[in-house]
Amino acid sequence: MPPVRRREPSPKKVISASRRTELAAHYPDYLAQRLHEIGPENVHTVVVWTKNPANLLYHGALREALAGVGQVFVHWTITGLGGSFLEPNVPPPADQLALLDEIISYVGDRRRVHWRYDPLISARRAAQRASNVDLDMFRSLGEPIARAGVPVVRTSFATMYRKVRRRLTQAGVEVEEHDAEFRRGFIGELAAAAAEFGMELLTCCEPGFPMQRCIDGELLMRLHPTNEPCRTDRARGQRELCGCTASLDVGHYLPCPNRCLYCYAHPAV
């Protein structure tokens, strides 16, 4: 009789929360419920994508659900545009930066926080102009984030999908276009500035730049308190230039109160 092969246990799950909508800030009870359904003991890492991580500190049910998972990793988007007509319901940068030390303490390792200066966009509405294609703005945000020990900043120019252009037009917003040469040059300037204050700049699905992994299973294993294994194969169903490794996204295209006009995940028009 041939020997019985033992089936290797599946690695614990990497949870993405979420590329589809802002769960931590606006749907913390839903996120807590999903984590309980999956079982925190089955979760390797929860990767939180957010423009306002306050609920990681102050929402009791979410804190309780996250307490049982292996680690929490935060992609924290601070574009400099919070409160502008492009991001009307996002906290202004100063309010976000006030949470920086507490969030790093909460996740337990400064390498578990990456800053997203993303997307890059310049736009006008009547007499108003909003733009973070601005090296001085990048420096003013990046220096305190770097001092706190955050090692990586990620960026890309906004992708003007058809529904995004339609939404901007309906809102009376005109986007300033930047050609490929300008984009390469500006991102190069950002990279040089980031290096000056000790950060590595990586792009996210930006044409003309190397494929990167915002969810990186190998990095998550290195940062895990017990070096727990997780999947490192490339995720299916992502954009062509996305190198992210496999994860389970627990979000849906729910209405997002942030109301960012450029958002490709926005469920309406």
Q: What is the pLDDT of residues 7-43, one digit of tens each?
A: 667 899 999 999 999 999 999 999 999 999 999 999 9
Name the residue among 163, 157, 93 with its Cα closest to residue 123: 157
Residue of 185, 186, 218, 187 lying closest to 200 (CA atoms): 187
- Residue 262 in this model has a pLDDT that exceeds 60: yes
pLDDT digits (tens, 9 = 90+) for 144-164: 999 999 999 999 999 999 999
- Nearest residue to 118 via CA among 203, 226, 4: 203
To the nearest whole number, what is the mean pLDDT of the chain? Answer: 94
**What local confidence, expressed as pLDDT, does residue 268 receive?**
52
Cα–Cα separations (whole angstroms), residue 27 to 91, 105, 135, 167, 192: 16, 23, 33, 24, 37
pLDDT of res. 6: 58
pLDDT tens-digit readout, 237-248: 888 889 999 999
Q: Average pLDDT of 122-142?
A: 98
Percentage of the chain exceeding pLDDT 70 = 96
Which of 49-77 are b and which e, b meaning 16 or more Cβ less than 10 Å from the residue's Cβ?
bbbbbbbbeebeebeebbeebbbbbbbbb
Question: Among the residues of 39-119, which ranges form H helices?
Answer: 54-58, 60-66, 93-97, 100-107
What mean pLDDT do residues 55-69 have?
A: 97
- Quote the percentage of the chain above a pLDDT of 90: 90
Q: Quick check: 24 and 62 in contact, CB under 8 A? A: yes
- Pair of tokens at residue 190: 């950002």
Say how far apart CA 159 and CA 119 lie, in whole Å: 8
pLDDT at 190: 98
pLDDT of residue 33: 97
Q: Where are the beta strands (DSSP E) in 118-250?
A: 122-125, 128-131, 152-155, 174-175, 200-203, 248-249
Is residue 1 pLDDT above 70, yes or no?
Answer: no
pTM, two decimal places? 0.94
User: What pLDDT is recorded for position 253?
Assistant: 85
As a whole number of angstroms, the distance between CA 72 and CA 43 comes to 10
143 pLDDT band, cuts 50/70/90, is very high
For residue 269, what pLDDT is reported?
47
Cα–Cα distance between 238 and 255 in angstroms, integer? 21
What is the predicted pLDDT for the residue at 123? 98
Q: What confidence category does residue 266 fall into, taking pLDDT thresholds of 50, 70 and 90?
A: low
Q: Which domains does the chain have, with CATH numbers?
A: 13-119+133-157+179-249 (3.20.20)
Sheet holding 200-203, edge to edge: 200-203, 152-155, 113-116, 71-77, 43-50, 13-17, 248-249
Tell me the residue type at 2: P
Query: Residue 2 pLDDT > 80, yes or no?
Result: no
**pLDDT band at 264; cut points 50, 70, 90:** confident
